[in-house]
Each structure stands twice: as C-alpha cells, then as structure tokens.
Amino acid sequence: MNAVDAKSITQRFGKITAVDDVSFTVSEGELFGFIGPDGAGKTTLFRIAATLIIPTGGRMTLFGLNVVSDFRELRNHIGYMPGRFSLYTDLTVEENLQFYATIFGTTIKENYHLIEPVYKQIEPFRKRRAGHLSGGMKQKLALSCALIHKPRILILDEPTTGVDAVSRTEFWEMLEGLKREGITIIVSTPYMDEALRCDRIALMQQGRLMGIDTPAAIRSSYGKKIYAVSHRDRYRLLLALRAMTDVDSPEPFGEAVHINIREGATVDDVKKSLERAGLEGAEVTEITPGIEDVFLELMKKGS
Amino acid sequence: MKRLMAFVRKEFLHIFRDFRTLIILFGIPAAQILIFGYAVRTDLKDAGIAVLDNARDGVSKELIQKIEASEFFYVKRYLASYEEIDAAFRQGEIKAAIIFPGQIAASVAREGSATIGIIADGSEPNTASLVTGYITGIVNDYSSSLASAVTSSLPLIVPEVRMYFNPGLKSHFMFIPGVITLILILICALMTSVTIVREKEYGTMEVLLVSPLKPWQIIIGKVTPYFFLSLVNVIVILLMTWFVFGLPVRGSIPLLIAGCMLYILLGLSFGILVSASTSKTENAVFISLLTLMLPTILLSGFIFPIENMPKVYDYVSMALPPRWFVGIIRAIMIKGAGFGYIWKETAILAGMTLLIMVISARRFKTRLGEEGR
C-alpha cells in the first residue's frame, strides 16, 4: 500500500486554479520532496493532504484512508507542520510539547525516544517561552510537537524557510533519522540543495507537476552540456554572455553563471568572445547539471 | 477528558500571561461600575440654587430653610435683583432660581394663596424636571402644613408618595443591574471571539484542526475558563455594589448567580458565533462591540424605559437577550423576587442560549475556510 496516493487533484479558489490535475504516489517510508517557487501550489496541496481543505476535484488517500471521508481517523496519524510558525508563543517549550502530547492522547515520556534527537537540543531551554526562541530552535520545537504522537506520515510545509544554514543542515539530518524509523515524510522546500536529500522529488510550478523522479535521474534528464563561467566582475560577465549568439540561456548561480553553448560553437569560441568584450581571465568549465538547471529548463519549456 | 483538561489549562495560561486580557477581564468591569455608579447619576444631590427674596418675611424665610434643609439643594447665591438671574444661569453655578414676590406672608394671610416663581435650567431637561419636581414637592409640603395651621381644618387631598423598592430613588439601583448586563455580555462575547480568532491568525488553529480534537472539545475548552472568570467577575461586581454603594441583593443570591450563569453562557455562545464568521481579530472586536454594546445600552431598558419607546423598538428589544436579563437581575436584586416571578424571562433566555449554541456549533468548521487559500 502506498503512503500517499493522489489522483488528478485539482483545487480552485474562485477563478484561480491553485492545484491543477496533480497525481503522484509516495511509498511508505519514503522521503518525498516538493520543490517549486512561491505560489506553485505546494501549500494548498499539503493542506489537502492534511485533511484541511476539500479538493475541488480528484481523490487522495493516505494509507488507503480518504482525506475527505476518513479525515477523523486520519487525523490520528498525521504530523503536520504549517509553513508559518504556529505554536503558542506565550507558552514555554515544555508546555507546548505537553499540550500537543495530551491532545493527541499520548505523553512526552511514551514517545520520548522518537523526538529525542530533535528535542534534546532545545531541552535546555524548556522553561523558555516559545516566542523567545531563535528561528532554528522554533522549527525544532515545531517538529517535536508534530512528532510527539508518533505519526505515520509527516507533512512539512517549507520547514526550513527563514532558518539559518547550520540549522537547516541539522534539520535535514533529523528528517533522515526519522525516515530510518519508518516514518513517511513529504516536505516542500524552495532550496534546491535540500531537494538532493530526498528519495524522490516532484517539481511543481503554477499548480502543475512538471516531473517526479529521484534527484539523480532528474539531474541526468538534463540532455545538454552545461558550463559554469566565472569572472570577478560578475555583472559585466552576465551582460556579455547575454549578448552572445553562441551562448544559450545564461543564468546566474552563486558566484558563477551557468550557460549552454549552441551547436557548432566551442568553449574556446566563448572564451575568445569574452576576451574581446574585455573580460580577460574568465574561466569556463563543464559541470554536472544541478536540480536548479533542470528546473529552470523545465520552467522555460512550460511557459 | 484529559484532552479537554489540557486545553482548558492552556487557555488559563494564555489568559494569565497576557496583561491586556487581564485588564479587560477585571479592570474594565470594576472601572465601569465605579464610573456608572458615581459619575453617571440621575438623582439629585447638592444642586446649587439661587434665591431672589423680595419678601423677606416669615413665609419666605421658612421656605428657604426647608429647601436648604433637604439634601438635594443648597443656596449658592442670594440675588438682589431680577437681572442677576440671567448672569447666574450663564455662569452655570445654579440649576434653578426661586423668586419670592414682595409680601408673600401678607398675601397668604389675606387671600389664602400666593405665587412663587421657579426658573430651571432648561438646557439640561432631565435635571430641570427633577429640580422643579423636588422644589414643588417641598413647597407643596410646606403649604399644606401652613393651610392646616391657618384654617385649622384638614387640607384638601394630600398625596403621600412612597417609592417602593427604592425609597430614595437612587440611580445606582437602576444602573448597577444594567452595568452587570452590559459587562457580562461584552466580556463573554468579546473574549471568546477574540481568543478563537487569534488562533486562526497565529495559524495554531490549523494544527488544532489536524489533531484528533473534536470541534466541541475545542469550543468547550475555549469557553470553560471564561465561564469561570466571568463568574468571578459577577461576584466581584456584587461585592463592590454592596460595599461601595450599599446596594444589597434582596433576593436569593444562588438564584442570582444561576441567572448570571445562564446569561454568561449566552454571551460565550455568541462569541463563538462571531469567531466563526471572521478570521481577523479587529473584525471580531468590531462585530462584538457593534452588535452588543449599543443595543444593550439603548434597547435593554437599562437606561431608557422601553415603555416610552415606539412599539417597533419594543418588538426589536424582545429579540435581544439583555432585555430579559435586565428584567431578571432587577427583579432578584432590587425587588427580591423569587423564581416564580422570573420564570418567563429565564425560559426565553434559556431558549435563546440553546439556539445560539446550536448555530455556533454548526458553523464551527472542522476544516480551513476561505482563509485556507
């Protein structure tokens, strides 16, 4: 049985179609990621999965239970973390956890082993009010609260947005730990580097799914060679590359600019053109395509 | 049950950790009682008057003495001429002026009657009619005693007026039940609607909904702390009215508390109803204040007697719970009435409570509404 089975899920709000005919399956124990820009429909899709919205069309089941008709039973098995921090800021860390444990009919003690790797990092601050925690610590508390009843599935809506880089890495290590416990996790993220840690990822844009596969397969699906060009004057470099006829779709990525080279042209041609433009010493190296590259390519095709 | 208790505990923590909530819960009611009790009063006490005594004889002196001896008036100024009256009124020092014509004693002795003039400040109609009423009363009293002394026969018909239940016609008898009515519904409806809407705003409602908690558990959990705190409020208000204003509860206190409980329940249910229809705190506050405060003040009969209004308002006010509660609380507190006298009001109030509860429980959603977009 699949942990999640979604068939042709569609959600309209008035004239806006937030989710458009989305189908996917998630196996039990899988770490499944959704990536896509803001407004892609990830939050709406997650709310449907969390039994919070009834979809306009389509059908979704979690562990064979329908998210619309069996929502009462399902709510015992879902751990949900909304995109916004949504714990009680005027309660302490411990009081928040205690509250969620009790309303799910369990105790902190009973499932302590499950939350321990996450919770022990914030336990020293258990008497502190949740509103006074740092962003990373808030996320750990929210995850602890979502986990305290030992859910079969975790639904995490952009859990690392607005969290510092170190905490983000820690957070994903925890998710991998939970996966080993057999908990199915679906997670959305705007960060492409995080997507690499998922078993499979779904690329989403404007309410539509543009592809589902393992990160490796998605990267290798990029049919063309891709080069990273770097120079200390990145702005002029970008302008120069955009003006070149030999170069296709230059996109700035961190310190470098990623480009494709049109058929018939070579790396040397590009280098020469750059020198002519006054950008001596620019480096052009072939790289393996990242998820972003695929994503941008798909977005271009899609629009 | 454990889940419910955890919820109630959480609510108490919210309340006791939020200074503003505590102020609204306990500070405002106390302040309102004091304001309404002391500042807003319609009975007369120590009103300044001016006297223009052209007679300066036995009758005028005795009358002035009698007027001053009452606790209602004191003579602020003795005027020398008619022209000074206007100035005295304009300076706002006096509520009324009394004018005695020359030789009033002689006129009484010779003709058996005399006329005195009373001018009241008509810019405050309520006070003016009170003042003239009180002065007329004192004058009538005096003239009947004079008549019996002079003619040594019984005067014509003399009415002996007594104000039942409230012999001193004190206005806090009227205001305190009204203020309790107003405060209870405001606090109950406002606090519950705000506390539920706040969970929506903070996004915590989303997590609560995904939990196995049932809607009724969320509702009961939200309402229970406010129910008890409102009861504490009632007791504080009653103690205040007793110690500060010397207004005792004449009827049965358990009956009064039971009546208040019913009314509190109604307020709380209304709050849930309000919270179901909005997801913004400001809206919740606005709806609660607008739909409750004005109708309660204007149409519950707490300040303005419903009997004096056009029939339409009478019917409108019948649909408003405060009208019935004012009836109940006045009957118990001031008339000392038992349940037999208020069963009708109680039944109507109970019916309304049940109706609002059912509607609000039905409208409370188990999923995200439009705000889910």
User: Which ipTM score applies to this complex?
Assistant: 0.80
Residue contact A47–B17, C-beta within 8 A: no
Say what the pLDDT of residue B372 is.
Answer: 42
Above 50 in pLDDT, residue B129? yes
pLDDT-above-90 percentage for chain A: 43
How far apart are the C-alpha atoms of A284 and A167, rounded to whole Å? 33
Determine the straight-line distance between the first and last CA of chain A, rounded to whole angstroms: 36
Report the pLDDT averaged over residues B144-166: 66
As a whole number of angstroms, the longest Cα–Cα distance in chain A is 71
Above 70 in pLDDT, residue A271? yes
- Residue in B9, B207, B373 nearest the CB of A80: B207
- Residues in chain A within 8 Å Cβ distance of B212: 72, 75-76, 103-105
Residue contact B210–A80, C-beta within 8 A: yes
| Same structural domain, B148 and B257 | no
Would an 8 Å CB–CB cutoff place A152 in contact with chain B? no
Contact assessment for residue B50 and residue B92, using Cβ atoms and an 8 Å cutoff: no
Residue contact A47–B6, C-beta within 8 A: no
Report the pLDDT averaged over residues B144-161: 64
| Same structural domain, B150 and B226 | no
Task: Tell me the per-residue pLDDT of B247-270, one tens digit each, with 9 for 90 and over.
Answer: 778 888 899 999 999 999 999 999
Q: Which residue has the higher pLDDT, B276 or B324?
A: B324
pLDDT-above-70 percentage for chain A: 99
Would an 8 Å CB–CB cutoff place B17 in contact with chain A? yes
Among B113, B142, B164, identify where a domain stops. B164
Work out the angle between the directed axes of helices B215-245 and B339-363 (0-180°, nearest 10): 140
Say what the pLDDT of residue B39 is.
Answer: 66
User: Strand pairing partners for A185?
Assistant: A31, A154
Task: Quote the mean pLDDT of chain B.
Answer: 83
Q: What's the domain range around B87?
A: 47-164
| Same structural domain, B203 and B67 | no
- Residues in chain A within 8 Å Cβ distance of B220: none
Residue contact A90–B373, C-beta within 8 A: no
| Same structural domain, B234 and B310 | yes
Task: Tell me the per-residue pLDDT of B5-53, one tens digit each, with 9 for 90 and over.
Answer: 999 999 999 988 888 888 888 888 888 878 776 766 666 778 889 998 8
Give the Å distances, CA to CA, from A210 to A157, A205, A296, A300, B354.
Answer: 19, 7, 11, 11, 53
- Residue in A44, A50, A85 nearest the CB of B210: A50
B73-79 and B47-53: which strand pairing?
parallel
**The most confident of A84-88, A129-133, A160-164, by mean pLDDT:** A129-133
| Same structural domain, B235 and B137 | no
B35, part of any domain:
no
Say what the pLDDT of residue A9 is.
Answer: 94
B13, part of any domain:
no
Say what the pLDDT of residue B371 is.
Answer: 45
Task: Quote the mean pLDDT of chain A.
Answer: 88
Say what the pLDDT of residue A187 is.
Answer: 95
B199, part of any domain:
yes
Report the pLDDT averaged over residues A104-122: 89
Q: How many domains does chain B have?
A: 2
| Same structural domain, B185 and B284 | yes
B28, part of any domain:
no
- Per-residue pLDDT band at B168 (split at 50, 70, 90): low
The string of DSSP letters for B317-343 reads HHTSHHHHHHHHHHIIIII---HHHHH
Above 50 in pLDDT, residue B298? yes
How long a stretch of residues is chain A?
303
**The most confident of A139-148, A209-218, A272-281, B362-371, by mean pLDDT:** A139-148
Give the 3-state secondary structure of residue A200: strand
pLDDT-above-70 percentage for chain B: 92
Q: What is the DSSP letter of A199?
A: S
Task: Tell me the per-residue pLDDT of B52-87, one tens digit each, with 9 for 90 and over.
Answer: 888 888 888 888 888 888 888 888 888 888 888 888
Report the pLDDT averaged over residues B168-189: 79
Contact assessment for residue A94 and residue B224, using Cβ atoms and an 8 Å cutoff: no
B356, part of any domain:
yes
| Same structural domain, B261 and B299 | yes
Q: How many CA atoms lie within 13 A of A180 on its CB side?
A: 8
B6, part of any domain:
no
Say what the pLDDT of residue B40 is.
Answer: 62
Instruction: Using CA coordinates, name the residue in chain A closest to B213.
Output: A103
Contact assessment for residue A253 and residue A228, using Cβ atoms and an 8 Å cutoff: yes
Report the pLDDT averaged over residues A64-80: 92
How far apart are the C-alpha atoms of A127 and A20, rounded to whole Å? 45
How far apart are the C-alpha atoms of B158 and A33, rounded to whole Å? 95
- Residues in chain A within 8 Å Cβ distance of B366: 71
Report the pLDDT averaged over residues A255-260: 85
B57, part of any domain:
yes
Say what the pLDDT of residue A302 is.
Answer: 64
Residue contact B6–A76, C-beta within 8 A: no
A208-213 and A247-253: which strand pairing?
unpaired
Among B106, B136, B164, identify where a domain stops. B164
CA of A52, closest CA in chain B: separation in Å?
A: 5
Give the 3-state secondary structure of residue A260: strand
As a whole number of angstroms, the longest Cα–Cα distance in chain B is 95
| Same structural domain, B201 and B110 | no
Say what the pLDDT of residue B373 is.
Answer: 40
Q: Which residue has the higher pLDDT, A294 or A70?
A: A70
| Same structural domain, B333 and B357 | yes
Among B113, B140, B164, identify where a domain stops. B164
B253, part of any domain:
yes
| Same structural domain, B262 and B338 | yes
CA of B75, closest CA in chain A: separation in Å?
A: 60
| Same structural domain, B183 and B330 | yes
Residues 6+ apart with CB under 8 A from A215: A195, A196, A198, A200, A201, A291
| Same structural domain, B70 and B142 | yes
Q: Which residue has the higher pLDDT, B231 or B299?
A: B231
Tokens of A303: 């629009």
- Per-residue pLDDT band at B148 (split at 50, 70, 90): low
Above 90 in pLDDT, residue B111? no
User: Strand pairing partners for A211?
Assistant: A203
Of the listed ranges A175-189, A287-301, B49-63, B255-269, the least confidently predicted one is A287-301
The string of DSSP letters for A144-184 reads HHHHTT--SEEEESSTTTT--HHHHHHHHHHHHHHHHTT-E
Residues 6+ apart with CB under 8 A from B309: B317
CA of B211, closest CA in chain A: separation in Å?
A: 5
